Amino acid sequence: MVNWFWRKGAKGARVDAPKLRPRSEDAALSTKVDLAELAPHRDQFLAQAAYVQLVIFEGLSANVAAAPDLAAKERLTRAAAIALEKHHAIVAEITRTGAVAAEAMQAHGAAIQFFQRATRGDTWAESLVTSHITSGILDDFFVRVAGGLPDDLERRVRAIYANGSHEALVSEQLRVYIEQQPTQAAHLAMWGRRLVGDTILVARSALASPPSSANDEARIEPVFTELIAAHTRRMDALGLTA
């Protein structure tokens, strides 16, 4: 399936989200392009990557506060710490360029603020799925785009993302929850599918410029298809249908 790439977000009008053109007939003929070729300028990359980690941290710390017991809380604090360390490491890279992190994030943040509102869950389980699914896709995305940064910065950025992942910590919490509340599985699967559209849109807004031709679209599509394939594996691991 993988039609999420083409799907508009589920919540009304949006600002800053790139407009998607209909699937081009010649998609199959285009050459696959690495996302790195569409990497934005270093400043935009760092600002958006830092802001996304801040949003992920906020989500995980809300997951900590709402956790049903201290064992779950304790494990989720580890996940929150990993996101916070990544955020601070990327902020250090912004500072290194001479910019002020808050100003940089503000300048490149409209799509991310929309994304945060659009993906907020109403329950602990929904919020945990949001943390897991959105950070999974977006970390994958920023690591791929990092290939277009200057070499030394690329190396440091890859090291930041390689330094720790909370994926196992969060997915284990969710797997246990779904095992205990099997009647919630269908709802959470739907919520997971609902998140992908908004997550892919915020990722696209973090590229150098929105694709402007059907040919551009066709060249990028396989990369997003790979991000979504990884997402599908994450959902499968939870026992949820993507």
Chain residues that interact with its own copies, rule: CB under 8 A: 54, 57-58, 61-62, 64-65, 69-71, 73-74, 77-78, 80-81, 84-85, 87-88, 91, 100-103, 105-106, 109
Q: Which is nearer to its own copies, 63 or 232 (CB)?
A: 63
Structure tokens at 78: 């580890």
Q: Which is nearer to its own copies, 111 or 242 (CB)?
A: 111
Q: Which is nearer to its own copies, 10 or 107 (CB)?
A: 107
Q: Which is nearer to its own copies, 70 or 162 (CB)?
A: 70
Q: What is the DSSP string of 88-148?
A: HHHHHHHHHTT--HHHHHHHT-HHHHHHHHHT--SSHHHHHHHHHHHHHHHHHHHHHHGGG
Distances (CA, A) of 76 to 62, 98, 115, 133, 148: 10, 33, 22, 15, 32
Q: Count the alpha carbons within 13 Å of 100 in the hemisphere toward its beta carbon.
A: 4
Dihedral of CA atoms 85, 91, 92, 98 in degrees, nearest 10, equals 180
CB of 62 vs its own copies, minimal distance in Å: 7
CB of 74 vs its own copies, minimal distance in Å: 5
CB of 75 vs its own copies, minimal distance in Å: 9
Helix spans in the chain (H)? 42-66, 70-96, 101-107, 110-118, 124-145, 151-162, 167-180, 185-205, 214-237
CB of 108 vs its own copies, minimal distance in Å: 11
Q: Which is nearer to its own copies, 101 or 201 (CB)?
A: 101
CB of 91 vs its own copies, minimal distance in Å: 7
Q: Name the residue among 58, 50, 56 with its Cα closest to residue 195.
A: 56
Q: Which is nearer to its own copies, 103 or 236 (CB)?
A: 103
Which residues 6+ apart lie within 8 Å of 98 measured at CB? none
CB of 61 vs its own copies, minimal distance in Å: 3
Q: Which is nearer to its own copies, 117 or 233 (CB)?
A: 117
Which residues 6+ apart lie within 8 Å of 157 measured at CB? 49, 90, 93, 142, 143, 146, 149
CB of 144 vs its own copies, minimal distance in Å: 26
